[in-house]
Structure 1
Amino acid sequence: MTQTAEYEIIRRFAAHPADVYAAWTRPERFARWFGPRVFTTPADRIVLDVRPGGAWRATLVGEEGFEVTLHGVYREVAGPGRLVFTTGDPDNPGEGPASVVTLTLEEHEGGTAMRFHQFGVNTDEEHAEQAKQGWLEFFDRLAEHLAGQATSSKVSSRP
């Protein structure tokens, strides 16, 4: 029997929506925040074909050569305000968990309000809670990356 679970995370970032969108859609930026801190996500192991029907794939590398690859397909691309993508194949998930993520970015008080909604199939509430906790760590890293980008921009814009 297929089990479903869903949740939403709302985060605010001190960066313009276009910068947040770039962090989601440019491999060199995605590599700096995607994944748990115990992994690296090399930019050359990331594919982000950001268009409806385009694939995304990211390989996370851990200690002693351990690797895990996450992947899916973009369903909607309306940047810099909205991305809808899958993890796995929710239309044909087999035995594994799969989901649809809807990401919206809106300008908010000089920064960005990011709404992340994930609806999963072949997953139970426990797995959904673990996934949510993982995304929260990813988004902490995203906030750090965006703060570093803002600092770099300020430094490089000085005469």
Structure 2
Amino acid sequence: MIAVICPFFLIDRVPRRKLIIGGVIATTTCHGLIVLGSMLIPDGVAKAYIILVLVVAFVFCMQLALNVPVRVCLSELFPLRMRGFGMGLCVLVLCVTNAIIAFAFPILVSTVGITGSFAVFFVLGLFFVGFLWKMLPNTSGRSLEQLEEAFAAGDFH
């Protein structure tokens, strides 16, 4: 719950672009550490607790730097005339993607194991860090009207 409340205090103090990219870096780091932990630590209670702590750290980073900032950023990227449709479509895609991951995760773990599953997430996270670094505009500190004018003129950064 703490990680869900914190973004409301951070959202106007830290640029959204930095917060989102930092969140993806943090969650990707957690995935990488889970891969390393599952490969290097011998099976037993210690391994289980370490992986549990890393999964909780992942959820904390996700709640802190991705959930609220991504939704705020998405709402600022659409022009007013299509903001409702755009946000509705984005939320639908996010929910469907989360459902697919939730249902596919047990199958993925049974197929490639915990190490392989989190290695897939780690590689995808690395890809998304690069994608966001290149493509995500900073929407902080500008009004919705200023953002709409900038995007209409093709100025995405």
Larger radius of gyration: 2
TM-score normalised by the chain length of structure 2 = 0.29
More strand by share: 1
Q: Which has the higher contact order (CA 8 A, sep 6+)?
A: 2
More helix by share: 2
